[in-house]
Amino acid sequence: MRGNDEILVDTKGLTKIYTLKRNIFARAAQFVTAVYDVNFQIKNGEVFGLVGESGSGKTTCGRILSRLEEATGGQIFIEGVDISQLKGKDLRRFRKKVQMIFQDPYESLNPRRTVYDTVVEPLEVQGIGDYEEREYRVWKALKIVELYPPGDYLFRFPHELSGGQRQRVSIARALVLEPDFVIADEPVSMLDASIRAGILNLLLDLRSRLGLTYLFITHDVAVARYMCDRIGVIFKGKLVELGRTERLIAHPYHPYTKALLSAVPIPDPRAKRERFRFEEREVPDHSFDKSCIFLPRCAASGRICRRESPEMVEVEEDHYAACHLSTEM
Amino acid sequence: MSLLEIRNLTLHYRTTNGMVQAVDKVSFSLAKGESMGLVGESGCGKSSVAMSIMKIMPPNAVIIGGEILFKGENILLKDDEEIRRIRWKEISMVFQAAMNALNPVVSVGDQIVEAIQAHDRMSETEAWEEVKELYRLVGLDPGRGKSYPHEYSGGMKQRAIIAMSLACSPDLIIADEPTTALDVIMQDQIIQEIVDLQDRLDMAMIYISHDISVIAETCGKTGVMYAGKIVEYADTDFLFYDTLHPYTKALLSSYPSIKGEVKRLNPIPGEPPNLLDPPVGCRFYPRCPEREGICNSQEPEYLQVKEGHFVACHLVKPT
């Protein structure tokens, strides 16, 4: 729970490089670096947010952590055990502890399966309990996600549910195994505001009730602020800043974080925003590059930015930024 | 006289399950150069209103009643030929997915030239000059006109679409979720561009979005739609600071912000009603935290309760 500073998840140098198939136009194989040397730790009971734009690699991070995708390099420790090489039985045991909630409840549920079939499946795969035990667990999971009374929902199909209810079914499916760690990948981006608020509150309540730890992946900074204790900002596959939510939002160090935060619209017609601008230029694939990843867009770059890729340094307590100039500002 | 005046617009969609009452007695007016936001959740009818103004509704749409007066003439009564002259030249529209509608095998500039020449008698060279001017206006490099859509980024394509929508200097521009597919930073730049152009060119604008924070920053006036009806309409500042309708209040308190203190969000219980068979009384009744007996049986009237502030709620009395 909160206050317990024990580290649950620890990534070291997480990297994912995709190789594009060679074709008649491209003679040499081409590489796309989706995630590059990403390090972060998530404490027990914490909500850790990964924030970035589309294509920044935030989803890939989540998929690697849940072992849906193999990392090209780096290690992932969960409770001190390296899970990046788990196979067979060990991998199945790992899946019991780490579950994922996906973005689109219209696509992540099988349209031909009832709510019961969908939620019971993880129990069947894991071989947990007999029929009665499973039914009880499904019932409990539906109650937890506030689909109440569960009996009304058990035999419905996804098309008979609204978007919010579908996402609750996805959450029930993730929680039925009673995991410790839940990876939520844009769980509310397909939902309307009035429904979204309910799902966010539910996730927060479940955290305190069940002692869950979340990796919360989102492009929406306002949602991240509402949900997360700490936030990591990811740009083109690299973590550029990481810190406690309130501090990071009030006092960002990295120019990309500044630009991102200053672009978020505020639901208040009297609010005035200072915009932090940057150049709109293509950022080339960087895995073998020796300069700062943000250089092509940065308005403040110095000579060192061209020569060296900046490391994450602690700019203040529990706040890290990967910018050569962050210490001078 | 208002540039645009909509009176009691009612539109249904014919489906195999019956008539979907998508837009119900919607009324508002817009003066020259004014900007108005239309905000609401998916399925509330905001896009249907926009499509009616351009008269580009899907074939199963049926106008049940009401009129759309543009410069005093009812658009709904015009035939195809007349409406074609108004579209683009006087009213233009930027859609959410418009950037995906660019023809991939024709250069972007040529597509804009085509749009210009369809409405204005202009030589190829003059039209290209115009394209360059438009590119400068929306912050694109005028030299990129000959490039093809795949050579543009998402933001650039959306800018080009905006350029195209401005090509014939319309009096009214309808922007239907023009930035929803874009990333935050790009969205912010495009919105600024639109607001700036709207102001500089003195166009009237209807900006449609599900996102109240975007509307808060872009529009002088705001209409809130729920289940096919406008439930509240006012100056944007009043709408946010002197909120009267329970749905608007609920919507505002369900939005997180990166400014101010973090307050617990208030979801609205339940779901919007099925418009095949909407509630008899107030359409928000089943979810309303402030409902009373009368709300269930009688439809609230859409009334002006204060200067320029319209509300459809039994609990809000004119002052």
Q: How far is CA B224 from CA A60, A155, B30, B247, B303, in A?
A: 38, 36, 15, 9, 14
Q: Looking at CA atoms only, how far is residue A216 from chain B in angstroms?
A: 16
Q: Please check whether residue B240 touches A, CB under 8 A.
A: yes
Which structural domain, as residue segments, surrounds residue A99?
7-321
In a domain, A148, yes or no: yes
Q: Where residue A312 falls among pLDDT bands split at 50, 70, 90?
A: very high
The pLDDT value given to residue A314:
94
In a domain, A328, yes or no: no
As a whole-number percent, the residues of chain B with pLDDT over 70 amount to 100
Q: Where residue A130 falls among pLDDT bands split at 50, 70, 90?
A: very high
Write down the mean pLDDT value for chain A. Answer: 90
The pLDDT value given to residue A4:
53
Q: Looking at CA atoms only, how far is residue A47 from chain B in angstroms?
A: 15
In a domain, B211, yes or no: yes
- Are A263 and B184 inside 8 Å of each other by CB? yes
H/E stretch holding A73: strand A73-78
Across the range B159-169, mean pLDDT stands at: 90
Across the range B61-79, mean pLDDT stands at: 95
The pLDDT value given to residue B121:
85
As a whole-number percent, the residues of chain A with pLDDT over 70 amount to 93
In a domain, B37, yes or no: yes
Least CB–CB distance from B262: residue in A54, A221, A225: A225
Q: What's the whole-model pTM score? A: 0.91
In a domain, A61, yes or no: yes
DSSP assigned state of B99: G
Instruction: Say if residue A3's pLDDT is above 50.
Output: no
Least CB–CB distance from B258: residue in A54, A197, A249: A249
Across the range A184-201, mean pLDDT stands at: 93
Q: Where residue A286 falls among pLDDT bands split at 50, 70, 90?
A: low
Across the range A132-149, mean pLDDT stands at: 95
Tell me the C-alpha distance between B64 and A8, whole Å. Answer: 60
Per 3-state DSSP, chain B is made up of helix, strand and coil in percentages (nearest 5) of 35, 25, 40
DSSP assigned state of A216: E
Place of tokens 């049940």: B64
Domain count, chain A: 1
Q: Which two tokens stand for residue B80?
A: 């195809």
In a domain, A52, yes or no: yes
pLDDT in tens, B104-137: 999 999 999 998 998 888 899 999 999 999 998 8
Q: Which of B181, B211, B184 lies closest to A219, judged by CA?
A: B184
Q: Which residues contact B254 (CB under 8 A, 6 or more apart)?
A: A193, A194, A196, A197, B265, B266, B267, B268
The pLDDT value given to residue B108:
94
In a domain, A98, yes or no: yes
Q: Please check whether residue A270 touches B, CB under 8 A.
A: yes
Instruction: Say if residue A304's pLDDT is above 90.
Output: no
Q: Where residue A30 falls among pLDDT bands split at 50, 70, 90?
A: confident
pLDDT in tens, A223-253: 999 999 999 999 999 999 999 999 999 999 9
pLDDT in tens, A58-113: 999 999 999 999 999 999 999 989 998 898 899 999 999 999 999 888 888 999 99
Q: Looking at CA atoms only, how far is residue A269 from chain B in angstroms?
A: 5
Instruction: Say if residue B286's pLDDT is above 50.
Output: yes
Residues of A numbered 64-123 whose beta carbons fall under 8 angstroms of chain B's beta carbons: which are they?
none
The pLDDT value given to residue B31:
95
> Could you give the angle at the alpha carbon of A305 between the alpha carbons of A304 and A307, nearest 5°?
65
Least CB–CB distance from B41: residue in A192, A271, A275: A192
Q: Looking at CA atoms only, how far is residue A44 from chain B in angstroms?
A: 23
Q: Looking at CA atoms only, how far is residue B178 from chain A in angstroms?
A: 15
Q: Where residue A328 falls among pLDDT bands split at 50, 70, 90?
A: low
Least CB–CB distance from B268: residue in A194, A262, A267: A194
Q: Please check whether residue B181 touches A, CB under 8 A.
A: no
Q: Which residue has better confidence, B216 or A289?
A: B216
3-state secondary structure of B306: strand
Domain of A297: which CATH number? Answer: 3.40.50.300
The pLDDT value given to residue A288:
57
Strand partners, B175: B94, B207
Ramachandran class of B25: left when φ > 0, alpha when ψ lies in -120 to 50, beta otherwise: left
Instruction: Say if residue A287's pLDDT is above 60.
Output: no
SS3 for A111-123 is CCCCHHHHHHHHH
3-state secondary structure of A324: coil
The pLDDT value given to residue A27:
64
Across the range B79-105, mean pLDDT stands at: 89
The pLDDT value given to residue A74:
93
Write down the mean pLDDT value for chain B. Answer: 93
CB pairs under 8 A between A and B: 118
DSSP assigned state of B198: H
Q: Please check whether residue A298 touches B, CB under 8 A.
A: no
Domain count, chain B: 1
Q: Please check whether residue B1 touches A, CB under 8 A.
A: no
Least CB–CB distance from B254: residue in A193, A263, A273: A193
Least-confidence region, from A114-123, A265-274, B30-39: A265-274
The pLDDT value given to residue A1:
41
Instruction: Say if residue B318's pLDDT is above 90.
Output: no
Query: Chain A partners of B265 at a C-beta cutoff of 8 Å?
Result: 197, 200-201, 226
Query: Chain B partners of A270 at a C-beta cutoff of 8 Å?
Result: 237, 240-241
Residues of A numbered 178-207 whose beta carbons fall under 8 angstroms of chain B's beta carbons: which are they?
192-198, 200-201
The pLDDT value given to residue A40:
96
Q: Where residue A280 falls among pLDDT bands split at 50, 70, 90?
A: low
In a domain, B267, yes or no: yes
- Are A263 and B185 inside 8 Å of each other by CB? yes
CB of B145 within 8 A of CB of B131?
Answer: yes
pLDDT in tens, B228-269: 999 999 999 999 999 999 999 999 999 999 999 999 999 999
Q: Which of B18, B178, B24 lies closest to B98, judged by CA?
A: B178
Q: B264 to chain A: nearest residue by CA?
A: A201
Q: Please check whether residue B263 touches A, CB under 8 A.
A: no
Least-confidence region, from A197-201, B62-66, B181-185: B181-185
Q: Which two tokens stand for residue A280?
A: 């709109």
In a domain, A208, yes or no: yes
Q: Which residue has better confidence, B121 or A203?
A: A203
Query: Chain A partners of B226 at a C-beta cutoff of 8 Å?
Result: none
Tell me the C-alpha distance between B242 and B236, whole Å. Answer: 10
Identity (one letter) of the amino acid at A221? Answer: V
Q: Looking at CA atoms only, how far is residue B119 from chain A in angstroms?
A: 33
| Candidates B39, B42, B185, partner chain A, best to mutate (most A CBs within 10 A) | B185
Across the range A301-322, mean pLDDT stands at: 90
Which structural domain, as residue segments, surrounds residue B175?
4-90+170-311
Q: How far is CA B14 from CA B19, B44, B244, in A?
A: 5, 17, 34
In a domain, B291, yes or no: yes
- Are B188 and A198 inside 8 Å of each other by CB? no
Domain of B10: which CATH number? Answer: 3.40.50.300
In a domain, A215, yes or no: yes
